[in-house]
Amino acid sequence: MFTIIEDCSPYYIRFTHSNTKQIVSICQSELTNSAFTNGFTHHVLNKHVAQQILQLDPLAKNLVLNLNRVSLFVTQPGYYYRAHKDGKENRMSINYTVQISDDKCTTNWYDNAVDQYPLDLLDNRSREAMGFDKSQHTPLKSMTAQQDECILFNTDIWHDFDNSQSLNTRAVLTLRSVYPGKFYFEDVKEMLYVQ
């Protein structure tokens, strides 16, 4: 069911499945029908579109993916987003690469030295390292996403993303469970390898 492209556990696993391109196509249509001007936009898709996507995702049922949290993360050229951990309790996400036009945007994972920064909870939506200075840290792992893939993403390790060197907009579909603290990266990894 799943084709593993690259396993860089515990940070990420790049993979595809038979409906990957169909899900990406639906999201690309949403992109053309919306205008995004902020450096970074968290755009929640309407329930009709969200239902279409979740019906196509083979992990949706087992992970109890959240219909109300089927979202596009749209990043403008030249934008950098500081080190953070997604959500208050979130441990992983399933991401689809909807619009990746070059190899200039990187995601980096960092060690617990980031714990030294004050924490901004952003109304419990994210755990953010306030004042994070990227130049003072060496990433444990870096990734450049590729078009038309899925990524099992470990959101419980400090990570940032950097589109500051790109001239292109980047868009990623991100899916989360209704039970954010229940499913860990390793739980979903097992699902990917059971055929």
pLDDT at residue 59, as a whole number? 97
pLDDT at residue 87, as a whole number? 81
Q: What is the mean pLDDT of the chain?
A: 94
CA nearest to 86, candidates 138, 154, 21? 154
Query: Which pLDDT band holds residue 195 (cuts at 50, 70, 90)?
Result: low
Percent of the chain surpassing pLDDT 90: 86
The pLDDT tens digits of the residues spanning 165-191 come to: 999 999 999 999 999 889 999 999 999
Cα-based distances in Å from 193 to 8, 17, 65, 187, 189 = 14, 12, 19, 10, 6
Q: Is the pLDDT of residue 81 over 80?
A: yes
How large is the average pLDDT for residues 149-178?
A: 96
Query: Which pLDDT band holds residue 124 (cuts at 50, 70, 90)?
Result: low
Helices 20-32, 47-56: inter-axial angle, 10-degree rounding? 160
- CATH topology for 2-193 is Jelly Rolls (2.60.120)
pLDDT at residue 75, as a whole number? 95
The C-alpha atoms of residue 171 and residue 181 are separated, in whole angstroms, by: 25
The pLDDT tens digits of the residues spanning 58-80 come to: 999 999 999 999 999 999 999 99
Torsion over CA: 144, 149, 154, 155 (sign): positive
pLDDT at residue 1, as a whole number? 86
pLDDT at residue 34, as a whole number? 83
The C-alpha atoms of residue 82 and residue 182 are separated, in whole angstroms, by: 26
Count of other CB atoms within 10 angstroms of residue 181: 12
How large is the average pLDDT for residues 45-67?
A: 97
Domain ranges (residues) in the chain: 2-193
How large is the average pLDDT for residues 120-130?
A: 79
Query: Which pLDDT band holds residue 123 (cuts at 50, 70, 90)?
Result: low
Rg of the chain taking only CA atoms, in angstroms: 16
pTM of the model: 0.94
pLDDT at residue 37, as a whole number? 86
Q: Is the pLDDT of residue 6 over 80?
A: yes
- DSSP one-letter string for 112-180: GGGGGSPEE-TTTTEEEETT--GGG---SEEE---TT-EEEEETTS-EEEEETT-SS-EEEEEE-BSST
The C-alpha atoms of residue 156 and residue 129 are separated, in whole angstroms, by: 13
pLDDT at residue 88, as a whole number? 81
